[in-house]
Structure 1
Amino acid sequence: MPTRTRIAVIGVGNEFRRDDGVALAVLARLRERAADRPLPTGTVLATCDGDPARLIGSWEGADLAVVVDAAHAHPVRPGRVHRLALDADALDRPRTTSSHGLGLGEAVELARVLGRLPRCLVVYAVEGADSAWGTGLSPSVEAVVEPLAESVEEEIVRHRSAVARAGEE
């Protein structure tokens, strides 16, 4: 019998701060795609405003957590996506910062100290161009929504395959 694992896909952002809503757009796209291709059983799609306690609560108990967030980087290249894989046993701080006050790095460090990290944490950080008040993504950020939704789905498939292989050994 295959091992069932909980997978959490968490979109961090604010849809009323333009490009800061990219993660919410990716989750909306994943929900649309799931109508034709359901995500594996045990996969949870959640949104978060970036509060570290809520973020930790969203991934608590997950074998795999995939977090999508807008990021600030210098120099900025709007639409550039950074993928960071953090293993619970070998943590490295993210190279980009969240577009929120307290960011993902603080949540990861707090979860590490509390022993509440998922076994595997993958972060997709998207560089934004505009975080002013308003709705809608800038064109360069909008262009990465579909490919990023595909990348998240592939991440889930890779994880499920690795779990299945480990169960066979």
Structure 2
Amino acid sequence: MDRSSGSPTRIAVIGIGNDHRRDDGVGWAVVAELARRRLPRGVALFRTDGEPARLISAWEGADRAIVVDAARSRPSRPGHVHRFRIHDALSRSPWSETSSHGFTLGDAVELARVLGRLPGELLVYAVEAADTGPGTTLSPSVAAAVPPLVARIEHDLVHCGGAADGEG
């Protein structure tokens, strides 16, 4: 999925996931819901499996990128949403091991940094997953997190400033 208003991409919203691994599809579910909304001009929506080259291509040229992905955490609080800004030190942070994929977002960020292809600002929403096994539906706690997360991202799209608050 790639939807843009026809104007240059100022903000890329990227859902990372796999809709055949239950909660790992939360990023795609958020992007699908945003696609039903009237978004500001210059917003482009993308779905990706998170492979670093595809992820970098999605945010390349954007002033701001918002990434939504499932995350693992211990202890787990399924459906809990973490919000944070990415900085150069991500690969050394605790967030570098939270991805539900075989690679980390930190890997893609480090590669983009080396290549000079980071967006001006990178904001991440990590949704704690309950189940990433085979299946096509989100767990109830993760599904319940989608509507408020979509509303929060819509707010971010309208009010592009402000500091991240760590957790949500």
State TM-score, norm by structure 1: 0.84
RMSD of Structure 2 on Structure 1 (CA): 1.6
> Are the structure 2 counterparts of residues 78 and 142 from structure 1 closer, same or farther at C-alpha, using a change threshold of 3 Å?
same
Distance 2:85 2:112 in 1: 15
List gaps (5 residues or longer) in structure 1: 163-169
Distance 2:90 2:17 in 1: 22
Matches within 5 A, 1:95-106: 95-96=94-95, 97-106=98-107
Post-superposition offset of 1:5: 5.8
Distance 1:106 1:114 in 2: 12
Q: Which residue of 1 aligns with 2:34?
A: 30
Matches within 5 A, 1:42-61: 42-61=42-61
List structure 1 segments (4+ residues) > 4 angstroms apart after TM superposition.
none
Deviation digits for residues 71-126 of structure 1 (CA, Å, limit 9, x no counterpart): 11111110011101125xx5434533211111211001111111110000000000
Determine if contact 2:12/2:43 at 8 Å carries over to the other structure.
yes
Deviation digits for residues 21-56 of structure 1 (CA, Å, limit 9, x no counterpart): 011111111112x2xxx2111110000001011000
Determine if contact 2:19/2:28 at 8 Å carries over to the other structure.
yes
Q: In the alignment, residue 143 of structure 1 is paired with which amino acid? A: A
Determine if contact 2:9/2:44 at 8 Å carries over to the other structure.
no
Post-superposition offset of 1:70: 0.3
Q: Which residue of 1 aligns with 2:40?
A: 40
Post-superposition offset of 1:144: 0.5
Between structure 1 and structure 2, the one with the greater Rg is 1
Determine if contact 2:83/2:126 at 8 Å carries over to the other structure.
yes
Instruction: Give the 3-state SS of the residue equivalent to 2:113 in structure 1.
Output: helix
Instruction: Give the 3-state SS of the residue equivalent to 2:28 in structure 1.
Output: helix
State TM-score, norm by structure 2: 0.85
Distance 1:18 1:92 in 2: 26
Distance 1:99 1:56 in 2: 18
Q: Which residue of 1 aligns with 2:90?
A: 92
Distance 1:13 1:92 in 2: 20
Distance 1:153 1:57 in 2: 22
Instruction: Give the 3-state SS of the residue equivalent to 2:125 in structure 1.
Output: strand
Instruction: Give the 3-state SS of the residue equivalent to 1:54 in structure 2.
Output: helix
